[in-house]
Structure 1
Amino acid sequence: MNPTTDPRKFLEHLYAVAVRRALPLHNTAAHLPAQPKGRTLVLGAGKAAGAMAQAVEAFWPEDAPLQGLVVTRYQHIPPRPPGLTQRIEVVEAAHPVPDAAGLAAAERMLGLAQGLGPDDLMLCLISGGGSALLTLPAQGLTLADKQRINKDLLRSGANIAEMNCVRKHLSRIKGGRLAEACAPARVVTLAISDVPGDDPSIIASGPTVADATTCADALSILKRYNIAIPGPVLDLLVSGALETPKPGDPALANTHVDLIATPQQSLEAAADAARAVGLAAYILSDEMEGESREVGKVHAALARAVAVKGQPFQRPCVILSGGETTVTVRATAAGAPGGRGGRAGEFCLGLAQALQGQAGVYALAADTDGIDGVEDNAGAWVEPATLSRALLKGMKIDDYLDRNDAYGYFSGLGDLVSTGPTFTNVNDFRAVLVL
């Protein structure tokens, strides 16, 4: 594949390679634990949970007992391979704002965890998106409260660690509480990381992992982003009554976590694919955070330096990065919140604005789960003619940035990247090609 003849097709190929590296069927077998003397119960949540359950079923001995329940996002159950017997129930719920289906699934999981003995195994399948899908409000909170708080967090600009700190302390199942409920059984968690730094306690708010954050930390975050919570719950946080299990808690002594796919592994796979066709490839980081549009501007400055000055890299090359950026949704001129599109689209808006049509620079940014924010696209595509084509249609990029409308901008140009659900999730994928 020649990147100079069809840059978009080439970058879409790199994205596909990155996603393929993170698919559960390619990564699960080597991490499965030994069969226990007693029962094996599978529980889990996340955008990849359905695919992870199928992978466990494919590799778990057919004559060994296996049962369980996982919850994934609506329309994220992959097609079942011919001949594969379903032993783990897969249900669907809403993401990124939780719904009653997610609440019902979490209640059932906590019930299934009760009564496990020391000879039993709980195999937990966790991936990004699990925080919203596995919702079980703390004492004094309703589902409506959780939905409103979740929406406020998503629009606030808080990073994923901050959001999940709050979520842990407002939940009866996150922050190690699911593992606590399984004691004294052995708990093995297979996780697909979607967070900067691959911290298992942050992935899906760590339902089986001890939590080092505190009620005081959650209170500080709520105050920082002006997020209101009901008075009785505020009192419980202040008193420490909603504290999570901490490192060293004996109830979590028999737990283990394995990361079966990470953002860095996917970026390395994409870099190898680029090098295979003779193109230099550079990975900036798999842990990038910050406002999406600002991260886009930084990538643009780097790409322009390469294109114009040959520094710090010689062109032609592709520059790769990952992580989880944020979008602070601003009010529109009418006073209502804006926001159509997600992190990848907003990155592309900031990138295109800063590139100002720089010759020889092309880019693709997409979420590896195939869904950017709450729309139906994975991300977007930028080329040197992006701004000029938009202006011919009367579309000014500043207006779209002002109202966080990446979806409207790139759909108007026919430059959305649409894949449908990929059944995995290792977060943002960004590739900038400089020819």
Structure 2
Amino acid sequence: MRDLNPSARDLLLQLFAAAVDSADPAKTVARHLPELPRGRVVVVGAGKSAAAMARAVEEAWPEVNLTGVVVTRYGHAVPTRRIEVIEAAHPVPDANGAMAARRILQAVSGLGPDDLVLALISGGGSALMTAPAPGLTLDEKMQVNRLLLASGAPISVMNRVRRRLSSVKGGRLALAAAPARMVTLAISDVPEDDPLAIASGPTVHDPDAGGDLSEIVNQLGPDLPAAARRLLLATPDPIPEFAADYRLISTPQMALEAAAELARTVGVKPLILGDAIEGEASAAGQIMAGISRSAALHGHPVAGPAVLLSGGETTVTIGDAKPGRGGRNTEFLLSMSLALDGQTGIHALACDTDGIDGTEDAAGAIIGPDTLIRARAEGLDPPAILRGHDSYSLFDRIGDLVRTGPTLTNVNDFRAIYIP
């Protein structure tokens, strides 16, 4: 028996679709393009949306003699005619990402002040465009990324490490393109839409280039490669300041507002709780369960029918145990479901807007009042599964994963909780 309310489930899926659609490069890129230069146009880019953004540029400028190269995640490429698309690994870099970084640096070298470099930047670009700093090998950088992903460190801290260990991030791509004019079109997947955090800021100045990273070095532990440790603890040479023409074309807040507008049209009150919610996924699930229960029982902070909307990026700290299959969104939902313990009428969706929750093939999942009942009917132990970070397997078993495939955009995680 399924207690999952079809209308609630459909509404949550429609809200997620509206959020993703609001960040579709085909609908946003053209509105933000700069004037054409007297000289050449070179397009470069990195991120999960880079190929879709490149195609949108080609469609907006059909007669322009432009060249360029972008790198995106495996499975996220789309056909282009003038801009080369390279696919590489994410979240741990690979040789294709290193090759792409070299090709991008070559594409912007030797340009003049009359030329334009159009940089297309989106989430995932940090891992996809990888150029290890001098003295660091690709294998060592891959090991650092693995340690970062398992550390539970917030994305802002991860990106500080990645900038220090890179020859292209933290404004170094922009410096390589000088004296050409550079305009960046960016899709934000980070809290507060900080340009320095989106793909580790390859086209903006890094005022924190010499900041103290000893705390995260200690957190990463003895498995941190010695070369990376030296670079992270050393004081690097300052990076020259420069002005940046940086244009945000899609953000998590815009996506939440698009979902809120849809909710209003069907008579459901939206309440946006924030676009930058971070912390442990399981802890966030417990907190959201408490807020949802208060709304359902007491009408605070909003009375139903309503939907609580939020974005941001939680983390999952693996620890020493070998993890199962999971992602931060499915872990959030399993924790929330355990905290709700079958609370009548409450349903929730949590998905990554790029269509990939962590490294799995689903964007996320949906829960309802009967989630735990159906899981236990399958012989599953939800608390043990949560402890083992195997939430994907539970939702796959009971048929509540949300599979969209790559969406070709990325405005971070999207969470919607329906209150009857």
- Same fold by TM-score greater than 0.5: yes
Partners of 2:398 and 2:51 lie apart in 1 by 34
Of 398, 408, 418, the match for 1:423? 408
Alignment of 1:344-383 (within 5 A): 344-383=329-368
Which residue of 2 is the match for residue 73 of structure 1? Answer: 73
User: What are the Cα deviations for residues 40-65 of structure 1, in whole angstroms up to 9, with x where unaligned?
Assistant: 111100000010001111111x3322
Q: Counterpart of 1:348 in 2: which secondary structure?
A: helix
Q: Give SS of 1:404's match.
A: coil
Tell me the equivalent position of 1:18. 19
- Change in 2 beyond 3 A, CA 1:329/1:237: closer
Query: Match of 1:35?
Result: 36
Deviation at 1:341, TM superposition (A): 1.9
2:326 maps to which residue?
341
Give the CA deviation at 1:291. Answer: 0.5
Equivalent-residue separation in structure 2 for 1:329 and 1:227 (angstroms): 17
For residues 344 and 127 of structure 1, do their structure 2 counterparts lie closer, same or farther at Cα, with a shift above 3 Å needed?
A: same
Deviation, 1:412, is: 1.1
Counterpart position of 1:393: 378
Confirm or deny: 8 A CA contact 1:215 1:238 kept in the other structure: no
Q: 1:340 deviation in Å? A: 1.6
Aligned runs of 1:403-422 on 2, under 5 Å? 403-422=388-407
Partner of 2:293: 304
Q: Secondary structure at the match of 1:139?
A: coil
After superposition, where does 1:27-176 map in structure 2 within 5 Å?
Answer: 27-60=28-61, 62-78=62-78, 80=79, 86-176=81-171
For residues 174 and 44 of structure 1, the distance between their equivalents in structure 2, rounded to whole angstroms, comes to 12
1:384-414 Cα distance to aligned partner (Å, 9 max, x none): 0001111111211111111111111111111
* Counterpart residue type for residue 26 of structure 2: L
Counterpart-to-counterpart distance in 1, 2:285 and 2:371: 15
Task: Check the 8 A contact 1:169/1:244 in 2, yes or no.
Answer: no
C-alpha distance in structure 2 between counterparts of 1:407 and 1:141, whole Å = 35
Of residues 156, 167, 189, the one that matches 2:184 is 189
Contact 2:92 2:146 in 1 (8 A): yes
Q: Which residue of 2 aligns with 1:294?
A: 283
Q: Alpha carbons of 1:116 and 1:414: their partners in 2 closer, same or farther (altered >3 Å)? A: same
CA displacement at 1:313 relative to structure 2: 1.1
Alignment CA distance shift 1:165-1:244 (3 Å)? farther
Which range is displaced more, 339-348 or 67-76? 339-348
In structure 1, what residue type is equivalent to 2:63? D
Distance 1:209 1:356 in 2: 46
Given that 1:376 and 1:420 are in contact with CA atoms closer than 8 Å, whether structure 2 keeps it comes out as: yes
Equivalent residue number for residue 276 of structure 1: 265
Aligned-partner residue type, residue 311 of structure 1 = H
With over 3 angstroms needed to count, the CA separation of the structure-2 counterparts of 1:215 and 1:234, relative to structure 1, is: farther
Contact 2:71 2:86 in 1 (8 A): yes
1:87 CA displacement: 1.0
Cα distance in 2 for residues equivalent to 1:222 and 1:121: 38
Mapped pair 1:327 → 2:316: yes
Change (3 A) 1:189 1:205: same
Shifted more, 161-170 versus 397-406: the winner is 397-406
Question: For each residue in 1:198-244, what CA deviation from the matched residue of structure 2 results, as whole angstroms up to 9, or x when unmatched?
Answer: 00010000001111223443333222342643334433444423x56
Task: Give secondary structure in 2 for the equivalent of 1:104.
Answer: helix
Q: Indicate conservation of the 8 Å contact 1:318/1:434, yes or no.
A: yes
The SS at the match of 2:147 is helix
Q: What TM-score do you get using the length of structure 2 for normalisation?
A: 0.96
* TM-aligned CA deviation for residue 4 of structure 1: 6.2
Distance 1:46 1:356 in 2: 39
* SS of residue matched to 1:273: helix
Q: What are the within-5 Å matches in structure 2 for residues 252-271 of structure 1?
A: 252-253=242-243, 255-271=244-260
> C-alpha separation between the residues in 1 aligned to 2:199 and 2:238?
15
Change (3 A) 1:4 1:340: closer
CA contact (8 A) 1:72 1:133 kept: yes
Deviation, structure 1 residue 90: 0.8
Unaligned runs of 5+ in 2: none
**Kept in 1: contact 2:347–2:418 (CA 8 A):** yes
The 8 Å contact of residues 177 and 244 in structure 1, kept in 2 or not, is answered as no
RMSD: 1.5
Change (3 A) 1:360 1:176: same
For the 8 Å contact 2:121–2:199, the answer to whether it is kept is yes
SS of the aligned residue for 2:205 comes to: coil
- Quote the offset at 1:9 in angstroms: 1.4
Q: Residue 176 of structure 1 contacts residue 244 of structure 1 at CA under 8 Å; is this kept in 2?
A: no
Deviation, 1:182, is: 0.6
Conserved? CA contact 1:377–1:417, under 8 Å: yes
The Cα offsets for residues 156-178 of structure 1, whole Å up to 9 and x where unpaired, read as 00001000000000011111000
Change (3 A) 1:5 1:108: closer
Which ranges of structure 1 fall in alignment gaps of 5 or more residues?
none
Q: Within 1, Cα distance between the matches of 2:200 and 2:187?
A: 13
Whole-Å separation in 2 of the counterparts to 1:228 and 1:44: 32
**Structure 1 CA distance, aligned partners of 2:231 and 2:363?**
39
CA contact (8 A) 1:141 1:230 kept: no
Aligned length: 417
Q: What secondary structure sits across from 2:107 in the alignment? A: helix
Answer yes or no: is the 8 Å Cα contact 1:153–1:227 preserved in 2. Answer: no
1:432/1:265 Cα in 2 relative to 1: closer, same or farther (>3 Å)? same
Q: Distance in 1 between matches of 2:256 and 2:234?
A: 44
CA–CA distance in structure 2, aligned partners of residues 236 and 5 of structure 1? 54
- Return the alpha-carbon distance in structure 2 between the equivalents of residues 360 and 149 of structure 1: 44
**TM-score, normalization by structure 1:** 0.93
